[in-house]
Every structure is written in C-alpha cells, then in structure tokens.
Structure 1
Amino acid sequence: MRTRILVVGGLGLVASTYGLVRLAYGLFLPDVQRDLGFGADVGGAVSSAASVLYCVGAVVGFLLAGRAARWLVLGAALTAGAGAIVMAASPTTPVFGASAVVASTGAGLASPAMVQLVAGRVDGAARDRAQAVVNSGTGPGLVAAGLLALVLLPDWRTAWTVAGVLTLLVGAVVFLAARPTRRAVTSGRPARPVLPGRSWFGAQVVPVVVALLFGAGSAAVWTYGRSALVGAGVPSASTVVAWIVLGVGGASVAGTARWTSGVPAARTWSLTTTLAAVAVLALGLLPHLVAPALMACALFGWGYTAATGALIAWTTEIDQQHAAAGTALLFVVLVAGQALGAAAAGAAVGRVGTATTFTAAAAVVAVAAGAPLLVARRSLRSVPSR
C-alpha cells in the first residue's frame, strides 16, 4: 500500500514541481507582466536564470539521490512550494524573479529523487511501469495549471498560492510514504554513483549537442507561447485552453509509446523534434488563428515529451549500465539550452517581434532534428566498401 502511495505521490510531485510551478511560469507571465510592469527581456532573463538553477538542482540530485533521496523530496517540495507562494506575494519584480528562480530548483531535485526511491522499493517489471507513471507527471501538471488559470486568471497571485500549497502537500505525502522500509534498511549502505569513462562521454557528443539545440529552440514556446497568443488578440480563455491542450499533448505520449518504442532512438528523436519544429513555426506565424494554434500546441506537447523520452532511450542504447548518468547529463544540457534560448528569445521578441523570434527558434529545433541524420549519413560514407 505504501509503495502505491509513493508512486501516485511521485506522479503528483513531478506534476506539481514541473507542471504547476516551473513550466507554468510562461502560462501566468502575461498577467504578471501587466501587474508588475516588466518587459519581455526581463521575463526571458528570469526564465533563463530559473533554468540554470534547475540544472544545479538536477546535478545535486544526481550526486545525492543514492544517499538522501527522501530528503531531496523534502527539498524539492520546499523550494518549489514555498517559492511559488513567495511569487504570489511578490510586491516587486526583483522579489518575483528571485522566487521564480528558486522555485525552479524543485523540479531539478524531484526527478533523481523519485527515480532512486522507486528503484529501491519496486521490483521487476513493475519497476519500469512505476517509473513511467511517475515520469508522466509533467503532462497532467500542465493540464492542472491550465485549469487553475482558467478558473482564477487574471488573479495570478491566488493561482500561484494554490500551486504552492498543493506542491507542499504532495511533497509531505511522498516524504512520509518514503520512510525507510525493512528492505531498504537491510540492503546496506547505498552505493555511490559510478562515473562513466572518457569513451562514454565521447559517445554522448551527438545527443548532447542536439539536446542543447532543442532546449534552446523550445524555450520560445515555454516562455512566450501564451504571450504570443495574447499579443495576437486571442481571447484570454482560449489562450489558457491552448496551454491545457499542450499538456494533453504531452500526456498522450503514454498512448503512442508502443509505436515509438521499437524504433531506434535517433530516428525517433528526428521524427519528434521535426514535428516540434513545425509546431513552433505555426505558433509564431499563425497565433491569431485559434484552431491551428491549438493544433500546434498539442503537437508541440507531444513532440517535446516524446523527444525527451527519445533522449533517455538514446543514452540507454549507448550504455545501459550508465543510463541514469546519461539521462541526468542530457536533461541538464536540455535545460541549459532552455536557459540560453529563453534569454535570447526575451531579447529578440521586443526587437524583431514574435513571428521572427519563433521562426528562428523553429530553425534551431529543425537543426537539432536533422543533425543525427547527417551524422549517420557521414558515418555510412566513411565505411570502406569491399
């Protein structure tokens, strides 16, 4: 029973730290900007700094998960939950920005902690299913954030307060459910992570580069996706529905996994990121057309989530023994790319406009999609024929 609570609570922790707090920043941004009076450049800088601190949290989580996963859960809930509550009460832009940056750390701490807790308490085939359930939380979290916005906006302060309280409550449930079991006590001291060798890092070059590019290109949607719709004159309720559709697209990956699981990871990556590039371009050029914009949001949600799954499969294909280390590396690089992309998009939107900014972002995502195919083609050409 406790294991089931742990898994369901873990899904809720991922949903809250990612969907309700970290990624909901772009959802509430237009209303926050209106009330606190800051521009797109400041919004992009805050998003960029939040991505950097997410990376710090993910690295800390990777290093400490084997020894203190339960306490990492507590840290994730406190940073994300309390950060969201301070965001809600912020009287000025600096206070809001600083609390948003701190709140983003929670998502970085949550993922490695939950991977470790599930691995230590669930056996066999059930373990893989449990990991999949927990890691699917981002999509439902985005949907929950959208529903919250649909009910409460333009009162973003109450929305952030509710998100923060829910995050603290879910974190408490997971913390209590993760109390050491007899199995955990008798299994001895947790092993420290074994770092891979130099050749392993060399094999990760291509996925690292494309993950960085994809993160940079996708940041335009996560930070300014709703702002683009608002700026195009789309009714506020429809812009929130678009965010909900984005979350539904991400959640639908669970239903399409059986078709993508048998495909080589690099090929899956190219497919999913190509569709994401199309979605980014559509949002940039057609934000005033509600139906195409909604379709683009659903497509981006699916493409982004499926692409992150392809990264996990890709590094697992390279070296299954160090799949956890590879996943941590690629996700940190992905979010580091988002930090760069958010800052660049924030500087560009005010100067060249949304359409040009999103077109450039789509081009970056397209490069990330095509790079593995070019590398594979060059590798085939380099093989001598008999």
Structure 2
Amino acid sequence: MKPLSSTGFALFGAALVAISYGLARFAFGLFVPPIRAELELTPDVIGIIGALPLISFLLATLFAPLSADRLGARNTAVMSGGFGVVGLALISQASGAVSLGVGVFACGICTGLMMPALTAAMQALVNRSVHGRVSSVMNAGTSIGVAVAVPAVLFLAGAWRFAYGSFAILAGIGVFAAWYFIPSVSRVMPANAAPPPPISVLQWSRLFRLSLFAFVMGFVSSAYWIFAPDLVVTLGSLPPGSTGWLWLAVGIAGLGGAVVADLADRNNPAITQALMLMTLAASLALIAASPGQILIAAFSALVFGLAYMSLTGLYLMTGIRLLPGRLSMGPVLPFMAVSLGQAAGSPVVGVLVNELGYANAFSIFSAVGILAAILSPLYPRYIDHAPEEEVEEETGLQAAYDHQLQGADGEPLPPDTEEAESQ
C-alpha cells in the first residue's frame, strides 16, 4: 500500500466516489430516454427500477461497517468495485426490465459499500481535525462521475450499451487502484484508547432530525435524478443527445457543493440548508415550466447540482460533528436517509407522471421541498470539535426543542450528556 497525504487521499477518494456514485448510480437517469425507448418500459416501471439501487444501497450500508471492521477498508473497497463492475456490465447487456433491475441493484451495493470503506481508511490515514473537509471533497466526486458520463450521451447518442461497457472498464481500474492505495486495516487506534462516550438522548434527537431532513431532500431530488432527462425529451421535445448538457451542468455546479458545505459547516448550517432546499425546489419548478428551452433546462441543472451536492455535503459534515469518533455511524446515517428518501420518491414520482403528467409531478415535489425549507430552524445544531471554543447559547425553535429533552422538572441536562453534546 502506498501512503497518501490528506489531500491525496481526498482526491483519490473523490475518484472512487465518482465511479461508485456518479457512474454506477446517478448516471442512470441520463440514459433513461434511450433505455426506456429500446426496452419499451413505461414510466412507472422505470420508477421502480430507479428505486432498486437505492434499496440495495441501504442494505449494503447496513453491512458495510461490519465489513470494514472484519475485512478491512481495502477489501471492502475492492468488493465495492467488484459489484460496480458486475452491475455496470449487466446494464450494458440488459434485454428487459428484470436484467436491467439486477444490474442497477448490483450498482447500488457498490455505492453502499464504498463510502464506509473510504471512511474507515480515512481514520487510518487522515488527521481527525480535517475529517469533515476531506469527506466533503470526496462527496463532490459524485459530480465528477456525473460529468464523465456526459460525453457518452453528447457524442454517442443512443449508444447506452457501449457507454455502460466503458463505465464497467473504469470501475475495473478503480478496483486495482483501491487495492494498491487503501490500507488493509479499518482504523489505527492505540490499545489503551478509551472507547467513545455513549450517545446521549440529545444526540439521538439531533441525529433523528438530521435524518428526517436528509430523507425529505432525497425524496424531492429523486424526481430530478430519475426523470429530468426524460422530461425534456418527452415533454419538451428536445433530442435525446441534448440531455447530456443537463448532466454536464449538474456535474460542474456540483463541484461547488464542497465549498458551500465547508462554509456552512463553519457558519450557519440551518440557514444554508433552507437556502439550498429552496434552490433545489426551484430547479424542479424551472425545468417543469420550460422543458423545451435547453438554456433554461441547463440552468435548472446548474441550480440542482449546486443545491444537491451542497446539501449532501452539509448532512455528511453534520453527522460527523454530531458523533465525533463514530465515523461508522455519524456520516452513514444521513446518507442512508437520503437514499431511503430517493427509494421512496422514485416510484411515487413514476406513478404521478403516469397519472398527472411530468409538470404536475415535478410541481408537487417542488412544493414538498419548499415546505421542508420552511422547517429549517429545526435543523440540528452542533458544537465544533475544538474543546477550547466557547459554547454559545441556543435560541429560538432549536432551544425550545432541546429544552423538552431536559425533563418536565426543568432540571438541566446531566453532566455526561452535556459533555457528549460538546464533543
């Protein structure tokens, strides 16, 4: 194993995330129009198939921490890449809904295993003080993978089988790179190190609220990831090849998500979440209103990419801050919630498209995003991990909500709870 610096590991992790998240998972929506036309699939069937990788992602995420501990970060990452190779190859040879579904299901397993494997490796290679920032950079790799898929649509319109075959080859290269660069151990910890403190009631409460917001964001974003390209082709009468510009815009703007998430992490996460959720909702409304205008559709994709990557990065960093020293839980729970929301939203939007049409379906999902943005004052706050920083008093809805956890007698939280909160 060749050692990597913190920056090198962040960039390498972003490359693996680009393959597992960008190509194996989110690129699917880009190819929905030609796949649906060739395999003669209806929108509701595509909606169900679109939910399969999200379900398998959840199942793999539950297993991934155990795999990283027992098999090590390297073997888990290699196994993730192996599922990616198999899934992408199966999609390239799909002959119907069943074979296509099996392929995307395998790709979901690839996605679910990769981030926990990288997180375990990060514990061994990266200083704890920059875990949040490194995770944010790796998360932005999704945008790189989405952008890589664009040339296949722009220059090989309709050749989705060849595109997925090429993706499988890239995934194979990622497997060998993971074996070479990622350490075999899951983490480095002194033998006499104290175990992390138990999770307090207040921490569980904040994790629950974080997961709820992440679920809603995943639910709303599923409409765009699965059906935005199909919307501009079917409703806007744009050529299938033009959908590549949408995903190129999503990928480019998504790279800015790492910067936004890092700024929000050091300033006001609740306000950032409200702004980004409103932006996410606006992107859905914009593309539904003008699907036939390629420039407006591309602008909506820019807005969507920035909002989605900013929110996922923010949720990732919040999870790390809420559970310091528990990287197998903190960053994993919000990612699971996002995927669960996408798994729930994908078939719902497929049914709505069938019954109400694309414009009405996207408008309904946009309204859900606006409602979630209004509730952003309840977004969980956290105290930075630096012990010397002064703790600020919480006010407003946040303080009122947390006060309920102190008991009916109004007594302050026990000392151990306050200590857990401050970590």
Structure 2 length normalisation: TM-score?
Answer: 0.82
Matches within 5 A, 1:237-316: 237-257=241-261, 259-316=263-320
Separation (CA, whole Å) in 2 of partners of 1:60 and 1:194: 23
Instruction: Single out whichever of 171-180 and 82-91 deviates more from structure 2.
Output: 171-180
Separation (CA, whole Å) in 2 of partners of 1:374 and 1:130: 27
Instruction: Single out whichever of 15-24 and 59-68 deviates more from structure 2.
Output: 59-68
1:32 to 20, 35, 55: 35
Report the 3-state secondary structure (helix = DSSP H, G, I; strand = E; otherwise coil) of the residue aligned with 2:237. coil
Separation (CA, whole Å) in 1 of partners of 2:282 and 2:230: 19
Q: Return the offset for 1:70.
A: 1.3
Higher Cα radius of gyration: 2
Deviations 1:221-253 (A, max 9, x none): 000011111111123332211111011111122
Report the 3-state secondary structure (helix = DSSP H, G, I; strand = E; otherwise coil) of the residue aligned with 2:331. helix
Q: Return the offset for 1:216.
A: 0.8
1:50 to 49, 53, 56: 53
Separation (CA, whole Å) in 2 of partners of 1:283 and 1:55: 29
Is 1:3 the equivalent of 2:7? Answer: no
Q: Return the offset for 1:35.
A: 0.7
Q: Return the offset for 1:372.
A: 2.4
Q: Return the offset for 1:258.
A: 5.7
2:303 alignment partner AA: L
2:295 alignment partner AA: A
Tell me which residue corresponds to 1:212.
215
Deviations 1:338-358 (A, max 9, x none): 001001011111111000000
Q: Return the offset for 1:23.
A: 0.4
Separation (CA, whole Å) in 1 of partners of 2:102 and 2:207: 33
Is 1:229 the equivalent of 2:232? Answer: yes
Deviations 1:348-373 (A, max 9, x none): 11111000000011111112212123
Q: Return the offset for 1:272.
A: 1.0
Is 1:331 the equivalent of 2:335? Answer: yes
1:107 to 102, 111, 127: 111
1:302 alignment partner AA: L
2:230 alignment partner AA: S
Deviations 1:128-167 (A, max 9, x none): 5544433321111110011222222211000000011101
Matches within 5 A, 1:52-67: 52-67=55-70
Separation (CA, whole Å) in 2 of partners of 1:128 and 1:346: 35
Distance 1:189 1:296, change over 3 A: farther
2:226 alignment partner AA: T
Instruction: Single out whichever of 354-363 and 114-123 deviates more from structure 2.
Output: 114-123
Tell me which residue corresponds to 2:93.
89
Q: Return the offset for 1:313.
A: 3.4
| 1:53 and 1:102 in contact (8 A); partners too | yes
Instruction: Single out whichever of 277-286 and 372-381 deviates more from structure 2.
Output: 372-381
RMSD across aligned positions (CA):
2.9
Structure 1 length normalisation: TM-score?
Answer: 0.90
Separation (CA, whole Å) in 1 of partners of 2:120 and 2:312: 19
Report the 3-state secondary structure (helix = DSSP H, G, I; strand = E; otherwise coil) of the residue aligned with 2:267. coil
Tell me which residue corresponds to 2:163.
159
Tell me which residue corresponds to 2:206.
203
2:363 alignment partner AA: T
Instruction: Single out whichever of 127-136 and 346-355 deviates more from structure 2.
Output: 127-136
Separation (CA, whole Å) in 1 of partners of 2:75 and 2:193: 14
Report the 3-state secondary structure (helix = DSSP H, G, I; strand = E; otherwise coil) of the residue aligned with 1:233. coil
1:98 to 86, 99, 102: 102
Is 1:77 the equivalent of 2:76? Answer: no
Counting helix residues as a fraction of each chain, which structure ranks higher? 1
- Report sequence identity in percent: 23
Distance 1:153 1:112, change over 3 A: same
Instruction: Single out whichever of 283-292 and 341-350 deviates more from structure 2.
Output: 283-292
Is 1:139 the equivalent of 2:140? Answer: no
| 1:210 and 1:369 in contact (8 A); partners too | no
Distance 1:79 1:180, change over 3 A: closer
Q: Return the offset for 1:301.
A: 0.4
Q: Return the offset for 1:378.
A: 4.4
Instruction: Single out whichever of 242-251 and 2-11 deviates more from structure 2.
Output: 2-11
Tell me which residue corresponds to 1:174.
178
Report the 3-state secondary structure (helix = DSSP H, G, I; strand = E; otherwise coil) of the residue aligned with 2:330. helix
Distance 1:126 1:264, change over 3 A: closer
Deviations 1:191-248 (A, max 9, x none): 9998735443223232222211111111000000111111111233322111110111
2:308 alignment partner AA: Y
Q: Which runs of 5+ in 2 are unaligned?
A: 380-394, 404-423
Separation (CA, whole Å) in 2 of partners of 1:36 and 1:136: 32
Is 1:354 the equivalent of 2:358? Answer: yes
1:300 alignment partner AA: F
Distance 1:111 1:319, change over 3 A: closer
Tell me which residue corresponds to 2:411.
none
